[in-house]
Amino acid sequence: MDYTVVSYAAYLPVATGVTVWVARTLSRNGKIFLADVFAGDSALADAVNNLLVVGFYLLNLGFVVLWMKSGSQVTNLQGVFDALSVKLGSVLLILGLVHLANVYVLNRIRRRGALDRQHRPPLAPQGRTQPAGA
């Protein structure tokens, strides 16, 4: 039995499943946060949410596939678990880092929007006034 193939056969579905689960969880629970980031514009929040999910899948599934190749031959069952622990641990760390980066960027956007809303004039300008002595 080729244990390298066994490690691939175990790694790919687990890593893909974790990626899909994380993406769905973040998408579902991030809608409220995105609506706040975009000042209640739910259509924009949904569009950005969908774009973030697609980007998340592309980035993370690309990493999963690239990381699948084993650097050395797996020769026994212990090697299968060793390879899986390194590969799945790496995938989980990358998923966490991508999530933190997204939250950081969106929080910066939300803060900027909140500052802009605070500095708006209470009334829209009604016209121009003539300078004194004109």
Mean pLDDT for 79-97 is: 90
Which range marks the domain in which residue 24 is found? 3-118
Residue 93 has pLDDT above 90, yes or no: yes
What residues have CB less than 8 Å from 18, skipping those under 6 apart? 88, 91, 92, 95
pTM for the complete prediction? 0.72
Output the pLDDT for position 116.
64
In a domain, 126, yes or no: no
Residue 119 has pLDDT above 70, yes or no: no
Output the pLDDT for position 85.
92
In a domain, 64, yes or no: yes
In a domain, 63, yes or no: yes
